């Protein structure tokens, strides 16, 4: 990292924790209204803690699998350029490449209203293994915006190649909840979904989703806003997306969680994934030279004022 970036970060009261997660740096921002941590490994927003509250994001109990594609379930993994299993290559990792490679920290500063801004990027040309596995050149950027009210992620993908780029994707957010048995997701009533835990059958959502246990669902043509209601933390999380047609809800349930190396037995009770996605029939192509943006905005509010 250069001196300019270091100064910009220091002016925000930020610091770098060097080579601390999977041998990559973490960026820590500590402000009166919140603290946030970004892992350059995979470009995960790892933690966002509003002052006086519990983290909005979940982190699994241990760092997880070793090896090039050892994954960890925490924060906001970026699933790109494919969501789920690769269509033809069985030996390629699930959920694409972006969550396994080192991103570059390129900017720290403030928006006009004082919100904190951090920008990171991942370019295919920076990693020979990416170029080998995905021969279409790209540049990804994440612009993080933090304030005491919550966080935003503006994710953009630029197709630098001369061919159309097929993409399915997700900002696979692990929202921390007090208990998945009592937490609820509201806002998907009457939306049709593909139930991956029921052989991909099509279902229609009736009312709220609760408990948030053992579910793997892709809601297609989903609305831009939904909410997590957490009675235990007396907190409501308002999730707003742009550029995302699918909303994925995932919680592994007790049995599948046991197969995840980084999760302890009770970890699955402490999160629900609500993912801003373009998956299955919502997959699309970025034209040569084109850009696609996926935006996620998360605000927290007391549940009592719902």
Ligand X SMILES: O=P(O)(O)OC[C@H]1O[C@@H](O)[C@H](O)[C@@H](O)[C@@H]1O
Catalytic residues: 172, 275
Confirm or reject binding of residue 262 to ligand X (CB under 6 A).
Answer: no
Does position 196 interact with ligand X (CB under 6 A)? The reply is yes
**Residue 178, SS3?**
coil
Instruction: Give the shortest CB-43-to-ligand X separation in angstroms.
Output: 15
- The token pair at 292 is 């696609």
Q: Which of 275, 276, 283, 292 binds ligand X (CB under 6 A)?
A: 275
250 binds ligand X (CB under 6 A): yes
Q: How far is the CB of 287 from ligand X (least distance, A)?
A: 26
For 143, the token pair is: 């612009």
Cβ atoms of 4 and 46 within 8 Å: the answer is no
Contact in structure between 253 and 214 (CB atoms under 8 Å) = yes
Which residues are paired to 217 by β-bridges?
Answer: 195, 249
- Shortest distance, CB of residue 142 to ligand X, whole angstroms? 18
Interface residue with ligand X, options 35, 38, 57, 71 (CB under 6 A):
71
Q: Does 169 bind ligand X (CB under 6 A)?
A: no
Q: Which of 1, 25, 31 is nearest to 110 (CA)?
A: 31
Residue 218 CB, shortest distance to ligand X, in Å, is 7
- 141 near ligand X, judged by CB under 6 A: no
Q: Is 34 among the residues that bind ligand X (CB under 6 A)?
A: no
CB of 122 or CB of 274, closer to ligand X = 274
Question: Which of residues 95 and 300 has its CB atom nearest to ligand X in the complex?
Answer: 95
216 binds ligand X per the rule CB under 6 A: yes
Q: Looking at beta carbons only, is 64 or 243 nearer to ligand X?
A: 64
Which residue number, 71 or 295, has a Cβ lying nearer to ligand X?
71
Smallest separation (angstroms) from ligand X to the CB of 167: 15
How does DSSP assign 197-243, residue by residue? GGTTEEEE--S-B-S--SEEEEETT--SEEEEEETTTTEEEEEEEES
Closest approach, Cβ 153 to ligand X, in A, equals: 17
Instruction: Give the H/E segment covering residue 278.
Output: strand 271-278
Residue 6, helix vs strand vs coil: helix
Residue 95 as a binder of ligand X (CB under 6 A): the answer is yes
By CB under 6 A, tell whether 297 contacts ligand X: no
Among 248, 257, 274, 294, binds ligand X (CB under 6 A): 248
Contact 115, 148 (CB under 8 A): no
Q: Which of 44, 73, 121, 152 contacts ligand X by CB under 6 A?
A: 73
The yes or no reply on residue 46 touching ligand X (CB under 6 A) is no
Inter-residue contact 48 to 57 (CB < 8 Å): yes
Which residues lie below 8 Å from residue 258, measured CB to CB, with a gap of 6+? 265
Q: Is the peptide bond before 81 cis (omega within 30 degrees of 0)?
A: yes
Cα–Cα distance for residue pair 264/282, rounded to 1 Å: 33
Alpha carbons 6 and 244: distance in angstroms, whole number: 34
List residues near ligand X by CB under 6 A. 71, 73, 84, 94-95, 172, 196, 216, 248, 250, 275
């Amino acid at each position: 990292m250069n001196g300019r970036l270091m100064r910009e970060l220091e002016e925000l009261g930020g610091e770098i924790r060097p080579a601390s997660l999977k041998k990559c740096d973490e960026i820590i921002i500590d402000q009166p209204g919140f603290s946030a941590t970004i892992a350059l490994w995979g470009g995960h927003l790892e933690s966002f803690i509003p002052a006086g509250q519990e983290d909005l994001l979940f982190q699994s109990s241990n760092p997880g699998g070793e090896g090039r594609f050892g994954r960890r379930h925490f924060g906001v993994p970026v699933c790109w350029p494919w969501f789920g299993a690769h269509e033809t290559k069985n030996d390629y990792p699930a959920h694409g490449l972006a969550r396994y490679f080192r991103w570059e920290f390129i900017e720290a500063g403030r928006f006009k209203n004082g919100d904190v801004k951090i920008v990171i990027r991942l370019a295919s040309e920076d990693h020979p293994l990416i170029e080998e596995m995905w021969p279409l050149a790209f540049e990804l950027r994440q612009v993080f915006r933090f304030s005491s009210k919550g966080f935003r992620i503006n994710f953009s993908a630029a197709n630098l190649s001369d061919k159309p780029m097929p993409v399915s994707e997700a900002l696979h957010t692990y929202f921390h909840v007090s208990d998945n048995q009592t937490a609820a997701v509201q806002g998907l009533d009457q939306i049709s979904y593909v139930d991956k835990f029921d052989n991909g059958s099509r279902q229609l959502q009736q009312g709220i989703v609760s408990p948030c246990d053992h579910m793997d669902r892709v809601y297609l043509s989903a609305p831009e806003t939904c909410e997590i209601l957490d009675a235990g933390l007396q907190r409501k999380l308002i999730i707003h997306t742009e550029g995302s047609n699918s909303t994925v809800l995932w919680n592994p349930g007790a049995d599948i969680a046991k197969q995840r190396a980084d999760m302890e037995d009770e970890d699955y009770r402490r999160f629900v994934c609500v993912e801003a996605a373009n998956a299955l029939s919502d997959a699309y192509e970025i034209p040569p030279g084109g850009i696609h943006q996926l935006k996620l905005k998360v605000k927290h509010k007391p549940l009592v004022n719902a």
